[in-house]
Amino acid sequence: LDWCHDAVQGVSRTFALTVDVLDEPMSSYICIGYLLCRVADTVEDSSSISPGEQAHLLRLYDSALDPDDDTDIDEFVTAVEPHLPPEGERSDDWMVVANAARVFRTFDALPDDVREAVTPPVRELVSGMAMFVERHSDTGGLRIQSREELEEYCYYAAGTVGNLITNLVTRGNVDRERSSRLYDTAEEFGLLLQLVNIAKDVHDDYTAENNVYLPAEWLDEEGVPQEEVVEPENLSKTASVVFRTATHAKSFVDDAQTYLETVPLRDGNTLAAWAIPFLLAVGTLRELLANPEHAVTGEGVKVSRQEVFAVVSAMNDASSESLAEMRNTIARQPFHRTTTNAD
């Protein structure tokens, strides 16, 4: 369990913040659930593994997750081993893949109801990734074609994680109306975060992973082939599609806020854990809409460390009633430039 908590610090700065501000036992539940997803995500993102082999590994991993299947996680580890970077050269992401059996053993030690809450959405994420790899196997990387396909991909990559969180926080006595509202908005919470990532990472997704998530139909309207998405001569046109993607992401902000205002604070769950990534996404949207070209050039679009610190500090004492005010403030200007109680 200690290894899992250390590992999550290396693979995602934002999710590490979430785990850090959760209390136990939810902190460990979310940490391990996230690492289970990260194994699949790393395999799916790899540009050095052929699409056919990626799909095979993901299907094998899904079988290992299936409690009714005899496939053992060691079979996945053996199959993925030839694709691991040499020891000493492995990124934090690949270290998690190499230690998938350790993550599984830690997961198996959790209570039955926790494993039953986590397993279905993780398996849906894994099978969805396998399906997308197979669908785009001819191009050697993902080439999203339409807004509908973009939202479908975002559901598998992040909407499923929203359902994982909801499964965990609705165990036990949660009234039907509240539970229904949570499940109605959980996917939108995930879609918001994923769409923001897609909009801000256009350059790296293409150059490092050979993936183009900006829909071909939107790029076609600007006269930009997907294979030329980061070419300097297409900068302004691609930036307009980034702006359009960010605007689409913004349409999910209201539902994401409703989710946060409804989520039960039990078993160590805290508002700050989910409000921090939400508010940082709002801040990233602000930067994207102001400078969409930075996502194309590789210059990078992100909120500053000072703003991250200010948001985390403010959320330690914040309530759901103050969430809307903080969201509106961050949408206008960097939060650390605003006078807060933290000052």
What sign does the dihedral 90-96-97-99 (CA atoms) show?
Answer: positive
333: helix, strand or coil: coil
DSSP code per residue over 42-103: HHHH-SSS-HHHHHHHHHHHHHHH-TTS---HHHHHHHHGGGSPPTTS--HHHHHHHTHHHH
Strand partners, 212: 143
Burial of 29 (0-12, 13-18, 19+ CB in 10 A): buried
Q: How many residues are present in the chain?
A: 343
Tokens of 302: 């992100």
Measured distance CA(286)–CA(120) in Å, rounded:
34
Burial of 216 (0-12, 13-18, 19+ CB in 10 A): middle
Measured distance CA(339)–CA(310) in Å, rounded:
10
CB 271 within 8 A of CB 254: no
Measured distance CA(195)–CA(182) in Å, rounded:
20
Tokens of 58: 């993901």
Element (H, E) at 183: helix 176-200
pTM of the model: 0.92
Low-confidence ranges of the chain (pLDDT < 50): 343
> Looking at residue 338, what is its pLDDT?
63
Measured distance CA(93)–CA(103) in Å, rounded:
13
Q: Which residue type sits at 44?
A: E
> Looking at residue 172, what is its pLDDT?
82
> Looking at residue 336, what is its pLDDT?
74
> Looking at residue 317, what is its pLDDT?
73
CB 116 within 8 A of CB 164: no
Question: Considering the chain, what is the average pLDDT of its residues?
Answer: 94
226: helix, strand or coil: helix
